[in-house]
Amino acid sequence: MLKHDEDLDRLEAAMGSCMRTIKKPGYWEELSRRARVNVDRPAAAILQVLDSGPCQFQSLVTRLGIEAPPVSRKVHLLEDLGLISRKQTNDKRVHELYLSNDGKKIANKIKAAKRQILSEVVSEWSNDDKSKLSYLLDRFATDMSNKLQDKTNKTEHQ
């Protein structure tokens, strides 16, 4: 096997391990305990997307990578709880979703708890190693997104 193949195998295994860890119920339980919030993981994901700014429902669905019906149900629940609200755009048929002040507080608590966990994980790493990992992960995420977007666009236009 070529060195390049071994590197790709290690990268794929590491990515899988990280994703499995983050998806484990124990991770969410620890995160929500530290954040002192009482929302489930899907609600937290919606709050985190909206924390980066308001967006239309379809954009939220796309960013979450989840089918529309469960997102719609969760959005309605979060509206009922007063954590998000809708505002009509200039186009009367389109609404944007926004975080309320309470929704922002919860999103900030979750962000702080995530940061605390990450900080503990890399606490013994050098600043240079943390910087390199941040740079490379950002580059990887951008390249992966762009590559998949290119494939999606080509498929849609064929």
Query: Whole domain around residue 85: which residue ranges?
Result: 3-121
Whole-number Å distance between alpha carbons of 12 and 1: 16
Query: Total structural domains in the chain?
Result: 1
**Helices of type H across the chain:** 3-23, 25-35, 41-51, 57-64, 68-80, 101-121, 127-156
Whole-number Å distance between alpha carbons of 135 and 132: 5
For residue 150, being part of any structural domain is answered with no
User: What pLDDT was estimated at residue 124?
Assistant: 97
User: What pLDDT was estimated at residue 78?
Assistant: 97
- 3 state SS of 84: strand
For residue 74, being part of any structural domain is answered with yes
User: What pLDDT was estimated at residue 155?
Assistant: 47
Residues in the chain predicted with pLDDT less than 50, given as ranges, are: 155-158
pLDDT digits (tens, 9 = 90+) for 106-135: 999 999 999 999 999 999 999 999 999 999
For residue 52, being part of any structural domain is answered with yes
pLDDT digits (tens, 9 = 90+) for 8-17: 999 999 999 9
User: What pLDDT was estimated at residue 147?
Assistant: 87
User: What pLDDT was estimated at residue 70?
Assistant: 94
